[in-house]
C-alpha cells in the first residue's frame, strides 16, 4: 500500500511559516523519482529544485575515465539544486537518484522569488547549504584517511538518517562507485558487517540490523556531520 505523501514530510518545507506555505505549497509538484534518474548534470542550467520525502539523491563527480565518487547525499532533510538560489545556476556535479521514492518539485523561478523575500525560507536554505558543505568536506577527509569498512558504515548511517526505513536497495557495484573504491573492497567490508550481525545483504538489498553496532564501528566523520547538521538545522528554531 502506497504511503500518503505530504510536503511536510520534507523537513525544510515543514519548517516554513504559514505565509510561506500558502505561497509555496500550491506550486509544488509531487514526483516519483526512479532509481538512477539524473536530476541535474554538469554545466546544464538548473530549472527545478527537488525536496525529497522518501527518495534519496547522491551528489557525485565523474572523472574523464568514467570513475565516480559521491560527495554528499540528500534526503528528507534537504533540497537538491542549491546552485540555483546561490546564483550559479549550474553545477559541476551530478545529482543521481540513489534510492527511489518521492519528492516535491518546484520551479527555479518560484524558488528564487521566495528566496529573495529574505524570510524564513532563505535562512533555512542558507543553513542547509552550510550543513551540506560540512558533509562534503568530511566525505573528502573520510575517503582519504579511513578504511573502506569505516566508509561503508558512514555511508549506511547517513543513508538511514535520510530514508523512511532501515532497508536500502543498492548493489555492491553501485556502492563502490559512490565511495570511489574497488568493488572487492566493498564486498569484503559488507561481508564483515554481515558476519558481525550488523547488516543483512541479499540480492542487492541491504537491511540494517544493528544501528548501534554501526555507530560503534564508524569513524568520527559520521558524528561530525550529524552534530553539525543537527546544530544548524534546528528547523523550528530558525528565526
Summarised one tens digit per residue, pLDDT across range 83-133 is 999 988 888 889 999 888 999 999 999 999 999 999 999 999 999 999 999
Give the chain's domains with CATH numbers: 7-142 (2.60.120.10), 147-218 (1.10.10.10)
Give the pLDDT band of residue 191 (cuts 50, 70, 90).
confident
- pLDDT score of 1: 38
| pLDDT at residue 171 is higher than 60 | yes
Q: Residue 154 and residue 139: Cα distance in Å, rounded? A: 9
What span, in angstroms and rounded, lies between the C-alpha atoms of 206 and 231? 29
Given this model, what pLDDT does residue 227 score?
Answer: 92
Calculate what percentage of the chain has a pLDDT beyond 90: 58
pTM of the model: 0.90
Which whole number is the average pLDDT over 129-156? 91
165: confidence class by pLDDT, cuts 50, 70, 90: confident
Contact (Cβ atoms closer than 8 angstroms) between residue 153 and residue 217: yes
Burial of 136 (0-12, 13-18, 19+ CB in 10 A): middle
Q: What is the pLDDT of residues 48-95, one digit of tens each?
A: 999 999 999 999 988 888 777 889 999 999 999 999 999 888 888 899
Amino acid at each position: 500500500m502506497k504511503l500518503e505523501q505530504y510536503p511536510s514530510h520534507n523537513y525544510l518545507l515543514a519548517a516554513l511559516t504559514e505565509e510561506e506555505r500558502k505561497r509555496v505549497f500550491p506550486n509544488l509538484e509531487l514526483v516519483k523519482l526512479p532509481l538512477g534518474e539524473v536530476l541535474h548534470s554538469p554545466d546544464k542550467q538548473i530549472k527545478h529544485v527537488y525536496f525529497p520525502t522518501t527518495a534519496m539523491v547522491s551528489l557525485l563527480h565523474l572523472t574523464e575515465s568514467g570513475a565516480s565518487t559521491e560527495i554528499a547525499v540528500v534526503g528528507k532533510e534537504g533540497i537538491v539544486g542549491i546552485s540555483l538560489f546561490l546564483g550559479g545556476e549550474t553545477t559541476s556535479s551530478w545529482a543521481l537518484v540513489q534510492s527511489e521514492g518521492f519528492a516535491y518539485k518546484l520551479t527555479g523561478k518560484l524558488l528564487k522569488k521566495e528566496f529573495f523575500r529574505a524570510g524564513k525560507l532563505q535562512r533555512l536554505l542558507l543553513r542547509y547549504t552550510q550543513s551540506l558543505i560540512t558533509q562534503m568536506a568530511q566525505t573528502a577527509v573520510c575517503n582519504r584517511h579511513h578504511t573502506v569498512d569505516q566508509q561503508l558504515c558512514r555511508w549506511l548511517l547517513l543513508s538511514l538518517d535520510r530514508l523512511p526505513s532501515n532497508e536500502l536497495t543498492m548493489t555492491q557495484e553501485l556502492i563502490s562507485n559512490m565511495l570511489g573504491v574497488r568493488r572487492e573492497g566493498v564486498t569484503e567490508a559488507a561481508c564483515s558487517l554481515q558476519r558481525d550481525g550488523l547488516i543483512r545483504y541479499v540480492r542487492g538489498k541491504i537491511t540494517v540490523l544493528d544501528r548501534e553496532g554501526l555507530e560503534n564501528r564508524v569513524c568520527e566523520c559520521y558524528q561530525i556531520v550529524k552534530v553539525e547538521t543537527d546544530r544548524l538545522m534546528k528547523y523550528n528554531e530558525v528565526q
